[in-house]
Structure 1
């Protein structure tokens, strides 16, 4: 088991901030500094260099950080193997997971609830960001497992399929577009409300438009909103804009008639939800178990 001081060092090294580490650990900044100082005295060298308002790892700090990441991975694998050999051994685990907006809001909640019922000794923290930022959080060791939309072609990341989802064009019931079928070229003259850059939903739309030799920049985008709920709430009350949203996110609104799906001929908007892990961490016991649990949960619903 890693010592308390080493766990605190990892938090500071991952975030390069004593303040953010103390907030994540729910302890005072002075307590964080005290533990880091104890490690520096133990190793007889500085682990962090403070330059103005920035915190950087020294060469010794960088070496310690890399070795502790390896030790953490081995610890997780050992706990998993021991729990398989000895069912009575059930250590408390805190899972650090991140997911893009749609997945966090509409896909994961029932899975997390079911998982925690089966593993009452476990804790789980879920970060909700767009796909680009979840990938960044994974690479910066803020999380150990992510679920995002699409594949971002990063060489040191492993992708594992979860679900296929559809993005649909929707508008308010009072919008004159309601009930119409559009051609792709019609989008050149229709006011659009879209997600922010970095969103997986936006990336799917952009890719589909390219198949029709259309650039997103050529379309009349009136507003970009950060987050599925913000965009959904906007298009419900704005009777001129067309929005593109995950079907998972608008099932209730389509059923109630608040929103209406607008068909666009030959525009296919499907995207895949994928687990992401840093290469070499795929066998991390509790994360591998959570990944498989989630796959089974949704396979049973198909």
Structure 2
């Protein structure tokens, strides 16, 4: 079993920050420093270089980090296999996942509730960022499983399909835009409210516009907002803008009439939600089980 000191070291190495590691582990920064110092005294070498407000791994720190990642995985596999052999053995297992904003808010909550109800021994942490930053967190070993949408693929990551969803153009009910169908060329004349760079929703819109030979930079972008809820709340109170949002995020607002869908002829925006894992880790439990559970959950709804 990994010692508490090694678990603290792993969190600092993942985040390259004593402060952020302490926040994640719910201990003080001084307690983090104390545990790292004890490890450095044990190994008789420095594990981190202090660079002002940031830290970097030394060669010894990088070696320890890579070995502990392997040990962490072996520990998880051992616990899973022991649990199958002994029904009385139920270790606490920690899962760290990440998902893009839309998925965190609208897709995963019912799955997580059901999954944790079936697996009370699992402690799950879900990080909510845009798709680009979830991919980065996966590659940095900050998370072991991600769910993202609409970004370019990289070779050292595997992608497992989950769901598809539409992105729709919406405006406030007071906006006269919804009274007529638009053509794609009309977007040049419409003020837009969009998601921030790195958003999967924005990436899908950019790709669809490029297929129509339209550059996003040539349109009237009035504001960019970080997060689905921020964008939705903005377009609800601003009757002069058009926004592109996931259909799942605006189901209630469309039903109530608070927001209205604007049809744009010839512009089809479909997103693909996918699980992402570092290549070579696809069979790691409990993440493999969670993927299967989630796919069964949504298959039953079709």
Could you tell me how far 1:119 is from its partner in structure 2? Answer: 1.4
Aligned to 1:118: 118
Tell me the equivalent position of 2:99. Answer: 99
1: distance between equivalents of 2:242 and 2:48? Answer: 51
CA 1:181–1:164 in structure 2 vs 1: closer, same or farther (change >3 Å)?
same
Which 10-residue stretch deviates more, 189-198 or 145-154? 145-154
What residue in structure 2 maps to residue 87 of structure 1?
Answer: 87
Checking the alignment, whether the CA contact within 8 Å between 1:100 and 1:147 is kept in structure 2 is yes
In structure 2, list runs of 5 or more residues that go unmatched.
none
Describe the superposition over 1:233-252 as per-residue Cα deviations: whole angstroms up to 9, x where unpaired.
11112112111000000000
1:2 and 1:264, CA in 2 relative to 1: closer, same or farther beyond 3 A? Answer: same
Structure 1 contact 94–124 (Cα < 8 Å) conserved: yes
Aligned to 1:10: 10
1:138-153 correspondence to structure 2 within 5 Å: 138-153=138-153
Secondary structure class of the residue paired with 1:177:
helix
Q: Which residue of 1 aligns with 2:293?
A: 293
Tell whether 2:278 aligns with 1:268.
no
Query: Is 1:26 the equivalent of 2:21?
Result: no
SS in 1 for 2:245: strand
Q: Partners in 1 of 2:196 and 2:51 — Cα distance?
A: 33
* Matched residue, 2:247: 247
Structure 1 residue 151: Cα displacement: 4.4
Matches of 2:82 and 2:150 in 1, distance apart? 35
> CA separation in 1, counterparts of 2:151 and 2:241?
29
Aligned residues: 302
**Matched residues in 2 for 1:216 and 1:162: separation?**
28
- Matched residue, 2:199: 199
Tell me how far 1:280 sits from its aligned partner. 2.1
* Cross-structure match for 1:171: 171
Q: Retained in 1: the 8 A contact 2:131–2:151?
A: no
CA RMSD, 1 decimal? 1.3
